[in-house]
Structure 1
Amino acid sequence: MSDWSSAPLSLVQAVYAQCRTLPDWEKKVTDYFKEKLQDDGSREVPSLNDAPLHYLRHGELVHFRCMIQDMFDPEYYMGVYETVELSTGTRALHLGKYRDVADCTPQQEVDLHSSQTVTLERQTFYCVPVPGESLWVKEMYSNSRHTRTSPSTSYTPNRQKRSLEEEDDDVTHQDTQQAGDGREKCKRLETEQQWRCQTAETPSGSQSLDRYFPLPGEKGPACLVKVYENWDGFKVNDVLEVYGVLCVEPALSTLNEDRDPMSSLLDPADMAETLEEQRAHSPPTSLVPRIHAIVIQKLPHTNPLIPSSVSESEASKQSVSSFMSELSSVRSDLLGFLTHALLGDGLAAEYLILHLISTVYARRDVLPLGKFSLNLSGCPRSCDFTQRLYSILQQIVTAVSIQVLPVESIRHKSIVLTRFFLPPQSHYLPMTIDTMNGLRFVPCKDYSTNRLVSGLLQLPAHTLLLVDETVLEQGQLDTAGVRNLTALGNVITWQKVDYDFSYHQMEFPCNVNVLVTSEGRSLLPSDCQVHLKPQTCPPSLEPYMEALLSATLPAMLNKFRMYLSLLQLMDYTITEEITKAVEDDFVDMRKDDPQSMSADDLHRLLVVARLLSLSVGQTSLSRDGWLRAKELETQRKSRLQEQKFLNGNEL
């Protein structure tokens, strides 16, 4: 039991040997690992998000925080198999769970015709690190773990040229007998090279090392996560926390290559799977390792400062309750922080807070409830205001993706495009018209490999998508470019992305906060437009924003981060009394001026009132909250009318 993290397979096999007759022995194993991972136990498990793959050992327990990018078809495996000792004929039963290759020494062989063999089913997820995850989130998770600081004994600086004899220290399976075979080594390296060529970076820089990463330039490993139970509860784009057995098995790289080409004529299963599909679904484990999940859960958020479930323990409840007691002061400090970031505009800061805590909490038919996309117009063109604002926001949100999609007009499919900015872990990609027309925003199905090829809009829930329209340059969009622009509009309006399956489209709901910065009114749709009215004009934005960040203590930044994440998880209700008062107020406003309050205006006012109540820690709308929401909306509309009058045309 002391080796539960370093040798989990030995523990599972021992429990199986002793308790396999019990009906719930597998649940006892899972419960044991869950108990060990409580409190500080999970910190002892190395994380694939932090430690390079060559620092980890095959067969040990690892942690991985990831997003499901694709789901493969279920696969069959030998849940129980029998081995025979060649010299003595002694038979032994083995558990095949959490393995890819049978545990069989050179003196043993697997009896494929044994009556003891049990065939079971498992599901495989292709998982990638959480797209757009902020740097502070990565660092905080990394600092909370006691990860290794030295590579495993099987590591050599050049993994492409390491011998299989060195990797043999990590592997004790039936294929070990062939480890020194030069032909196998050449085939494995050839397979890896072919897979690398398929996913290599293109000269234009538009594709990252792994073409299945949604955002270009994302760092970190992709993994095949194999799930053994309750996989129906997961879906594409879910964020997972996985604890499982790491598999870095050289033998898997050559299994497909060793098949007789004529076998496809005899085996219908081989005919149904092309060579491209085999390579896409079984990449070398040195590039895409396997994790056999023992404990897996869906994360409602990725903020390391708050528990995954605010009601999972008494300690969590007390911590949240303590924070809620100082919510008013935190909100006041955050308002001041964002006011300075928005050049002294307090009204814009108020609406930005409402935008940052908004989330889709329910869907009624096709209408997503709770979304609050924001268009911040009036942003300066002469300086990198959006990029500097992004540097501020990435310090307080858990995941953010910035897209500079400058739009001036769409007459005859014209669009303005110059640059494409990504999170700090991503590279800077100059965006010309050609690259805009060539980039993929919407994921699509590749039938030759039977893989879902990711797009820029395949993002996890609660990601902040910042779209910049302040940099202008005229150009012509082709069909693909118009399709990308339409996809952005669908995310904003309907919170959905229509994945392209060639012969049809499949709708995938999303929950992405979209903030659009523009000089005039954005050509993209939005739930609310606020015109920026700067009260200060610093000579240079970069030192101004850096001074703002340096003046804010790390402890205060952590409170901002907790504030934004916790309020997204809070419930909200409206009493019948307040509902009646709102209806009466709406009728009165329509009596005075029917044009002043439409159904859309009422809907936006109710959303503002809801978010405003949550921002001060109230889970139910009060009369004062309703009046405050009306006051904010009056100020916002008055500013828009004033700007319209000054410009002489509609924003």
Structure 2
Amino acid sequence: MVGKAYDCVLNPLGAVRFLFDKEVGSGPIDAHGRDWGVHGLFTRTLFEDGGLSQVPEINSVPLHSIPANSLVRFRGMVQDMFNSEYYIGAYKDGDAWRTTKYSDVAAVPSCSESSMKIWERRPLYCVPVPGENLWVKDAFTPLDAQLPHSPTCSDPITNRKRSRPEEEMDAEDTEMITDVTETAPDNKRSCEGADLNLETKNCHDDPCNLNMPLGEKKLLPCLVKVYDGLDADLKLNDVVEFIGVLTFDPELTVHPGTVGESVDCIHGSFLDEDISAQLPASRVPRLHSILHRKLSSDQLFQAMPMNTLGQLYPDALSRSSFEELRSSLVARFTEVLGGDGLAAEYLLLHLLSRVHARVEPMAVGKLSLNIVEPRPMKDGSTSFIQMVSHTISTLLPRSHLMSLSLEFLNEKLIAPKKNYSSNRLMTGDLQLADGTHLMLDETVLRSGQLNDIGLQNVHFLKNMMEWQKVEYDFEFYKMEMSTDVAVLVLSAARSRLFPSDVVLPLRPTRGFSSDFPVENLWRWRIYLAAARAGDHTIDPTIQKVLEEELVSARQEDRSLGPEVFHRWLTLARLLSLSYGESTLSLERWNMVREMERRLTERLRVC
């Protein structure tokens, strides 16, 4: 029996070239490049045969310990998207065609243009997911993950046995083994020597600014290059897990401003425009993506390694479990909020809210919440706020606490802005992935003067809360980008800067609890994700009853406007989903009306 001619994990480029050689032997080269079965092979190896656990994640292991040209993973947010770049994808070496796909630099011999194929790929600048909580990072780091090591003479590819008889190769395949083995990465060559100092500079004009979100300094960004038009389903701020080839070429470790006389004028002119040159490989790893999968909030748990999902109860999404989990979670929120059961109910519905439709300019489904504590708290405002923040970060995949001090608001813009000198989008604190929870601490805001930057930042936050849009500044024009970020405002008095959908004066009856039991954590997490992603409809018969009630309520109180009716319908939808129900019932509608009645009474005496 003959050994495998490739190893997708230890020598991915060898596998790619093996499939390329096999394809070229059966016909002419496609001028635009083809897959040659690469995606199918890597999908089977990683997801069907369990190979994914052997692939290291860039930010889970030291980068210098990963050999260059090995297979790696990177989970991040698409922060910037660049124009497609052209590269020499295949060239003729004597009578044989070679491919440089999934590589940075092509060592192409002198040949005519007819002896090479120019293809294109799309560079994406990806950063660690802003606000991603520690339990998610831990869940995506399998306990059995191993660092790859380059094949050596004592462990040749040709000596590895296949586990399935149907993988036997014919004589033509066997002849290719020697050539493929020679393409294995050099055992001594890795990303060693790369300068991994991640201290970022404040100046946005620095072309090497890592542009990290929310001041992140411990994790690495990544320049991901996507092939075969697979970037068509990706957009700005998507959370994606990329699986591909990690490359490290010394020629890309310097900035074009330091390139010496060894680079000719023509090469230098292209280098100045090359985003790869602006972001040296010594600071930004290169990943040539072979596979990727989007990780929206409702897809996150399915993408976690099986050893993590095994902690979840198999009946976590049954109807009875939904009610049980809801009851226990509301009880936990009640403890956190000092015994205020009404506040616990509103907090749960707030955490389940999401934008499920847009009727311009409205974002249907959002539910911003302002929790007000007018009296001094025994534990102090800071500890209470940290307690609520800790509770949310323990349950939700992505969250961020923003302290709205006067210094913070006046210091820098929190919305992204395009820098045309470096041709990059400079990030801001509001460039967040959909499904992120944002908590605004207004208790630290003291009297003072907002400068122009502060006024703009207040405008950005109000725009996000009201319309779920963030204004990106492209210098010559501004563009509103849709987002889906639930916003919770904590304040000592009703916020005048940031009007919320629901204003809730807190009425604690006992001390605030910081204890958070761990036995139900995973069940609560999967419950929140499932309830948030659920579909919901209103039966026509119920809809008629609701219309009559809304007309009656309007006759009794002329101050009720469309925004109140919209809030009631949103609350009714979220309440139904919190019980695992896909349709609205009169029981849930009456529960919402009772919650709103109690809230109105509380606001009258606030």
Q: Shared fold (TM-score greater than 0.5)?
A: yes
1:579 deviates by 0.9
Aligned to 2:110: 111
Aligned to 1:375: 370
Aligned to 1:98: 102
Aligned to 2:250: 250
Which whole-Å CA distance do the structure 2 matches of 1:233 and 1:461 have between them?
16
TM-score (norm: length of structure 2) = 0.83
TM-score (norm: length of structure 1) = 0.78
Aligned to 2:296: 300
Map 1:5-154 onto structure 2 (within 5 A): 5-20=9-24, 21=26, 26=35, 28-38=37-47, 40-83=50-93, 90-102=94-106, 104=107, 110-143=109-142, 146-148=145-147
Using a 3 Å threshold, how does the CA distance of structure 1 residues 287 and 400 change in structure 2: closer, same or farther?
same
Amino acid at match of 2:457: N
1:96 deviates by 1.7
Say which of 282, 288, 291 aligns to 2:284: 288
Say which of 511, 514, 531 aligns to 1:567: 531
1:440 aligns with 2:413: yes
Using a 3 Å threshold, how does the CA distance of structure 1 residues 72 and 632 change in structure 2: closer, same or farther?
same
Map 1:188-587 onto structure 2 (within 5 A): 200-201=200-201, 211-228=210-227, 229-254=229-254, 256=256, 257-258=258-259, 260=261, 267=266, 275=272, 278=274, 282-301=278-297, 305-307=301-303, 319=314, 322-378=317-373, 381-382=376-377, 383=380, 384=382, 385-405=384-404, 417=405, 433=407, 435-523=408-496, 524-537=498-511, 544-545=513-514, 548-549=515-516, 552-553=517-518, 555-587=519-551
Using a 3 Å threshold, how does the CA distance of structure 1 residues 343 and 330 change in structure 2: closer, same or farther?
same
1:262 deviates by 9.6
Q: Secondary structure at the match of 2:253?
A: helix
Using a 3 Å threshold, how does the CA distance of structure 1 residues 235 and 329 change in structure 2: closer, same or farther?
same
Contact 2:240–2:294 (Cα < 8 Å) also in 1: yes
Which whole-Å CA distance do the structure 1 matches of 2:421 and 2:271 have between them?
8
Q: Deviations over 1:607-641 (max 9, x none)?
A: 00000000000111111111111111111111111
Deviates more, 1:468-477 or 1:512-521: 468-477
Amino acid at match of 1:235: K
Deviates more, 1:607-616 or 1:24-33: 24-33
% identity of equivalent residues: 34
Which whole-Å CA distance do the structure 2 matches of 1:377 and 1:216 have between them?
29
Amino acid at match of 2:331: G
Contact 2:370–2:488 (Cα < 8 Å) also in 1: yes
Which whole-Å CA distance do the structure 1 matches of 2:325 and 2:200 have between them?
46
1:511 deviates by 0.7
Amino acid at match of 2:236: V
Which whole-Å CA distance do the structure 2 matches of 1:122 and 1:325 have between them?
49
Q: Deviations over 1:93-118 (max 9, x none)?
A: 2112111122x5xxxx5234152311
Aligned to 1:421: none
1:321 deviates by 7.1
1:472 deviates by 4.0
1:302 deviates by 7.6
1:322 deviates by 4.7
Contact 2:127–2:222 (Cα < 8 Å) also in 1: yes
Using a 3 Å threshold, how does the CA distance of structure 1 residues 111 and 319 change in structure 2: closer, same or farther?
farther
Say which of 594, 599, 602 aligns to 1:636: 599
Q: Deviations over 1:271-302 (max 9, x none)?
A: 5x785x65775422231111111111221228
Contact 2:369–2:500 (Cα < 8 Å) also in 1: yes
1:563 deviates by 1.1
1:442 deviates by 0.8
Using a 3 Å threshold, how does the CA distance of structure 1 residues 497 and 527 change in structure 2: closer, same or farther?
same
Which whole-Å CA distance do the structure 1 matches of 2:576 and 2:509 have between them?
27
Q: Deviations over 1:449-503 (max 9, x none)?
A: 1011100100111111000112342221110111011101111011111111112
1:436 deviates by 3.1
Contact 2:9–2:148 (Cα < 8 Å) also in 1: no
Which whole-Å CA distance do the structure 1 matches of 2:361 and 2:556 have between them?
33
Q: Secondary structure at the match of 2:553?
A: helix
Aligned to 1:617: 580
1:70 deviates by 0.5
Using a 3 Å threshold, how does the CA distance of structure 1 residues 638 and 261 change in structure 2: closer, same or farther?
farther
Aligned to 1:425: none
* Structure 2 unaligned blocks of 5 or more: 153-184
* Structure 1 unaligned blocks of 5 or more: 84-89, 154-166, 173-184, 310-314, 406-416, 418-431, 644-651
Q: Secondary structure at the match of 2:472?
A: strand
Amino acid at match of 2:510: T
Using a 3 Å threshold, how does the CA distance of structure 1 residues 437 and 112 change in structure 2: closer, same or farther?
farther
Which whole-Å CA distance do the structure 2 matches of 1:293 and 1:262 have between them?
28
Contact 1:140–1:304 (Cα < 8 Å) also in 2: no
1:377 deviates by 1.1
Which whole-Å CA distance do the structure 1 matches of 2:483 and 2:55 have between them?
32
